[in-house]
Amino acid sequence: MAIPLPSTENCAVVTGASQGIGESLAAELASRGYNLITVARRRDVLERNAASLKEKFGVSVEVRAIDLADRAKRTELSEELASRDIAILCNNAGIATFGPVSKLDPDYERFVVELNAVAVHDLTLAVLPGMLERGAGGILITGSAAGNMPIPNNATYAATKAFTNSFSESLRGELKGSGVHVTLLAPGPVRTDMPPVEEQSVVERVVPDFFWVSGEYTARLSLDALARNKMRVVPGPLSKAMSVAGGYTPRAVVAPIVGSFYKKLGAE
């Protein structure tokens, strides 16, 4: 069964919608006619993006300025989503840290786990009963090629993405024949535009240009894959290379090689 078509009763949810892949997913869904609930911490950015999408595509866009790492706030959102007709959930919000985990802020590392893994689990479980009752729905989970292998100096992020990768593909197996589609998005570096040098992140300064793919391309490819109920979509050359390396290269070999690159990110 296909994922639900857009209607006045249903909507699509995008977390991490203020920038990057999430912003592109929201725009692509709006272009396909879906009303939206966009979720991120920065209300001003969400509202500005919402106004643009409403004007351009004529859809409704509800803004939820929520820190998904905050369990109380996340519970409120989960309860709301459980009561709504959610056609598509894009579980996209996430963040990375770099460097030896022993030298990083423990509180912030727990924040990463809550956002990247626990929030994905909670929101998925919130929308799933309604989707199963309706016999239709789509869940897109943004994992990472980094979740396919051990990555020293990126340990917490890689571990949380290992969770999302496995959770997505395991859930998909459980839902076979239910009408609910589940697709894992495992991207490499993605950007919507190139900021000035002084505003570039560590990753933007270190990763060569030819490894990057656009947010627009990633969103379109991902939603098309979700519509076909494809297990995994891997846009970009770096993500494809990391997927192959993670699947076929002995971990004792790949870990120090990849870890040395991520050490550069932590040193910036």
> Could you tell me which residues are beta bridge partners of residue 38?
14, 63
Averaged confidence pLDDT in the chain: 85
CA distances from 243 to 66, 188, 190, 216, 238 (A): 32, 10, 16, 22, 9
Confidence of residue 12 (pLDDT cuts 50, 70, 90): very high
Would you state the pLDDT for residue 228? 96
Active-site positions read 157
pTM greater than 0.85: no
Question: Which domains are present in the chain?
Answer: 11-266 (3.40.50.720)
> At a CB cut-off of 8 Å and minimum separation 6, what does 110 contact?
none
Rounded mean pLDDT of 207-236?
81
Looking at the predicted structure, is the pLDDT value of residue 206 above 60? Answer: no
Range list of H helices, 215-250: 215-227, 237-248
- In 159-252, DSSP assigns E strands to 180-185, 190-191, 213-214, 232-233
Contact between 91 and 124 under an 8 Å Cβ cutoff? The reply is yes
Confidence of residue 200 (pLDDT cuts 50, 70, 90): very low
Residue 253 in tokens: 């070999």
Contact between 157 and 112 under an 8 Å Cβ cutoff? The reply is yes
pLDDT tens by residue, 151-193? 889 999 999 999 999 999 999 999 999 999 999 999 865 545 5
Contact between 165 and 144 under an 8 Å Cβ cutoff? The reply is yes
* 150 or 123: which leads in pLDDT: 123
Alpha carbons 28 and 199: distance in angstroms, whole number: 26
Closest CA to 111 of 81, 155, 76, 156: 156
Alpha carbons 30 and 27: distance in angstroms, whole number: 5
